[in-house]
Amino acid sequence: AKEVRRKADQMVQLGKDGTLDAARRASAFVRGDDVVHKLFTELAYRYKDRAGGYTRLLRTRIRIGDAAPMAYIEFVDRENELREAKPATPPPPQRVPLDPWAKSRASQQWAGPKVTMNPKSEGL
């Protein structure tokens, strides 16, 4: 399924190129003139601003007969998607650099036992 995803992304990229050479290369791989037409019109327009990642791979189940993993492949940013795209995650907050001379938690944890002077034992 990952290889099919790679080929589908390549075909969409050819559709975005829109040249005669790209159309011939796409028609050599894809069967059917209607699919090539859809690549060069609808899909090229839909993904004109996207740099890559035109497809999504959805793993579904394991086939009973030979235990092969099964999956769906779908185009992203379309209506009737099987799974909605995740919203963009915000960048992580900036980390404050630590003081190099501060004691670590480990050194505090493994410190030796504290010796306390017992006032009763001093008089003996």
CATH superfamily placement of domain 2-75: Ribosomal protein L17 (3.90.1030.10)
Q: What is the pLDDT of residues 6-20, one digit of tens each?
A: 888 888 888 888 889
The answer for 19, left when phi > 0, alpha when psi is -120 to 50, beta otherwise, is beta
Parallel, antiparallel or unpaired: strands 55-62 and 69-75: antiparallel
pLDDT at 32: 87
7, 15, 110, 118, 123 from 34: Cα distances, Å? 18, 13, 72, 94, 103
Q: What is the pLDDT of residues 57-85, one digit of tens each?
A: 889 999 998 999 999 888 887 776 666 66
pLDDT at 91: 84
More reliable by pLDDT, 84 or 44 = 44
| H or E element in which residue 11 lies | helix 2-17
Domain boundaries, the chain: 2-75
